Structure 1
Amino acid sequence: MNQIQTAAGQRRVIVMIPGWGMNSSVWQQLAERLAINHHLIVLDLPGQGRSQVLEVFSLTAVAETLLNVILEPVFTLVGWSLGASVAIEMARLSPDRVHSLMLVAGTPKFVKTADWPGVPAQVFDEFAVQLAADLPQTMLRFLALQVYGSANARQALQQLKTALSATAFPRLDTLIGGLNILKYSDVRPVLRQLSCPVRAIYGANDQLIPVASASALRDINPAICVHIIDTAGHALFLSHQQEFYDWLLAGL
């Protein structure tokens, strides 16, 4: 696993996990600011960035893999999108090690059902077909979707493209494995039972995570602190860097 550590102030150990298809470079600007006073560990998901591919790609396997490379005994988890799901699973597996959770444009359940706002299941199937047909072009369209409806969209999109180009594209089987986690995982029961502090932040214009997930999250666990950025999309930590930075610091 790729692990980038800095330890300037060491007031808090912060572990940052990117989303589906992305590598740890997406956190670079934020990590540089946080590293002034905190210990940052920035991880790649298996098969993304510079990390090794997992043969069995499941939510639990990914979470266990990340836990095994973190040497610090206690830490705060910051997970974006798929990374948020992984962070929730890590907290379930090692509740004594996770001090708090910061969920960035994340949801415990991505697929829409009668009792949960989300994305129709067939969207994941169609996306998998598009990836198999033209992986690079599909990834670029996905980046555009992440900033759609957001202020500062052009700048955020360029940052996403720069991060994506920092390493080779993930393998198709890794990307499909991640899509399957998004499609089939439901960690709502975990969020109901977690005792650590949980904070979540959403973009009101997110095209991947309906903003209705915010109120649904509170229904699961009223103790979860939810913040919504009105003019943000899915990549809100890039388009609204200062507001996101302030939100993150407030929870440390």
Structure 2
Amino acid sequence: MKLFTIHGWSFEPSVWEGTHFESAEHIILPGHGESFFSSSDIVELAREIGEYLPENSALVGWSLGATLAVVMASLYPDKVKELILFAPTVRFSGISQPEVVVKRFLRKLKKDFKRTVKEFRALCSKVNLPLPELDEGKVTELLESFSYFDLSNFARNLSVPAKIFVGEKDSVTGVQGALKLHLLIRSSTLSVFPEEDHLTILRRY
């Protein structure tokens, strides 16, 4: 089985260093460095990446990457055979975060992109990772698409086995978002780790 990872928003594949997935093939999100992909719409990007996947693939997704992994598994059931999802959510705005918080964050992002990205990454974890070269326009559009995207219908259609991992100290997507996804995916398991946050959960597989 061919293993692929998909990182989260404003990060890059360095998040997988020191994890069980360090040697997998790492997919880079549009606007987050040198990516093969260009769409900033969640479904269109899932189709774009899905066309690239070979048969018998396993997807490891973190945060926004987990959303893409679920959509790809729904759209390409003949290709995706397993999902490993870290810090996922059914919907970021309204479930993981109040809508007013999301709207305020997006406004701040457009006014002061670099500072707002740094604030977001500090919220994810105290662990400090290198900041990738970000395309402000593309990265902002991708976050807007993710923030209001409802994963429910894609999750209900899944038959592929899914392992879900979330940290109890995750203040970004949160335990509630992961629990709701677990309840929608029939063949899923959920593991909650008390001491882990949005980023450090990646080391608990």
Structure 2 match to 1:58: 41
Structure 2 match to 1:150: none
The one of 92, 111, 122 equivalent to 1:133 is 111
1:100 equivalenced with 2:85 (yes/no): no
Seq. identity, %: 28
SS for the counterpart of 1:213 is helix
1:194 equivalenced with 2:158 (yes/no): yes
Q: Structure 1 runs of 4+ off > 4 angstroms?
A: none
In the TM superposition, residue 52 of structure 1 has moved relative to its aligned partner by: 5.6
Structure 1 match to 2:51: 68
Structure 1 match to 2:26: 42
Contact 2:88 2:181 (8 Å CA) reproduced: no
Higher relative contact order (CA 8 A, sep 6+): 2
The one of 88, 98, 123 equivalent to 1:145 is 123
CA-based RMSD of the aligned residues comes to 2.0
- Structure 1 pair 207–133 and aligned structure 2 pair: CA distance change class (3 A): same
Deviation string, structure 1 residues 33-81 (Cα, Å, up to 9, x no partner) = 653xxxx210101121211673x521111112222333x3211100000
Cα distance between partner residues in 2 of 1:45 and 1:78: 14
1:15 equivalenced with 2:11 (yes/no): no
TM-score, reference length from structure 2: 0.90
Cα distance between partner residues in 1 of 2:178 and 2:161: 16
TM-score, reference length from structure 1: 0.74
Contact 1:64 1:90 (8 Å CA) reproduced: yes
- Structure 1 pair 214–81 and aligned structure 2 pair: CA distance change class (3 A): closer
In the TM superposition, residue 25 of structure 1 has moved relative to its aligned partner by: 2.2
Cα distance between partner residues in 1 of 2:14 and 2:186: 33
Q: How does 1:23-34 map to 2 (within 5 A)?
A: 23-30=12-19
Contact 1:121 1:183 (8 Å CA) reproduced: no
Deviation string, structure 1 residues 6-31 (Cα, Å, up to 9, x no partner) = xxxxxx31100001121222223326
- Structure 1 pair 108–140 and aligned structure 2 pair: CA distance change class (3 A): same
SS for the counterpart of 2:174 is coil
The one of 178, 182, 185 equivalent to 2:142 is 178
In the TM superposition, residue 100 of structure 1 has moved relative to its aligned partner by: 0.7
